[in-house]
């Protein structure tokens, strides 16, 4: 059973957004042994892995278990856990890629706002503690009025590859 609603894309069509059981599957299911973010960086199948952009030292990846439609993550290539582990160049690139991601999402799926941030530590809702990643979660009026959205599990879109196809060409 899925309950959904649609949001409009820049192609003039509508993508369905679901309230979804599969994030719960992820939360309750077995986790991969290694670091899946390192695996995504090392792999060359960017579409399969929902990787949207490789910068100099950081990347933009779609969250496969999104809190909301267009949920992206910006992360360093290096497997480090803390903001303080980043070099100055990596810190700057993370912020630049967050800015670019927001610009792309605005062009493609017209969010009304964004939540941007990191879950640092399990108690804060981090699913993967060891590889720092910043979340960018688009928000629409009425999607949910419950905060904090970054550790919420309720609103999810389907059609991840369709959305990758829309977002990818808009990233430089």
- DSSP-assigned letters across all residues of 1-42: --EEEEEE-TTS-EEEEEE-SHHHHHHHSPPPSS-HHHHHHH
- Contact in structure between 157 and 66 (CB atoms under 8 Å): yes
Among 9, 15, 20, 37, binds Zn ion (CB under 5 A): 37
Nearer to Zn ion, 11 or 122 (CB): 122
> Binding marks (x or -) toward Zn ion, 145..164, rule CB under 5 A?
--------------------
Is residue 38 near Zn ion by the rule CB under 5 A?
Answer: yes
CB of 36 to Zn ion, least distance (A): 8
Is residue 86 near Zn ion by the rule CB under 5 A?
Answer: no
| Tokens linked to 22 | 């599969």
CB of 11 to Zn ion, least distance (A): 34
Sheet holding 3-8, edge to edge: 3-8, 14-19, 155-157
Does 133 qualify as catalytic in the annotation?
yes
SS3 label, residue 64: coil
Q: Identify the active-site residue in 71, 79, 131, 133.
A: 133
Q: Which residues contact Zn ion by CB under 5 A?
A: 35, 37-38, 79, 131
């Amino acid at each position: 059973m899925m309950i959904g609603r649609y949001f409009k894309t820049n192609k003039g069509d509508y993508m369905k957004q679901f309230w979804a059981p599969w994030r719960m599957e992820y939360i309750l299911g077995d986790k991969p042994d290694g670091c899946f973010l390192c695996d995504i960086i090392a792999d060359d199948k960017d579409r399969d892995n929902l990787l949207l952009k490789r910068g100099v030292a950081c990347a933009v990846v779609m969250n496969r278990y999104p809190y909301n439609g267009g949920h992206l993550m910006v992360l360093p290539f290096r497997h480090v856990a803390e903001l303080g582990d980043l070099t100055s160049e990596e810190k700057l690139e993370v912020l630049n890629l967050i800015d670019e991601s927001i610009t792309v999402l605005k062009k493609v799926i017209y969010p009304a706002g964004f939540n941007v941030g990191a879950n640092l530590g399990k108690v804060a809702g981090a699913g993967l503690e060891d590889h720092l990643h910043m979340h960018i979660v688009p928000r629409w009026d009425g999607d949910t009025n419950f905060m904090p959205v970054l550790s919420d599990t309720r609103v999810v879109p389907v059609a991840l590859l369709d959305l990758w196809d829309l977002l990818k060409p808009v990233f430089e």
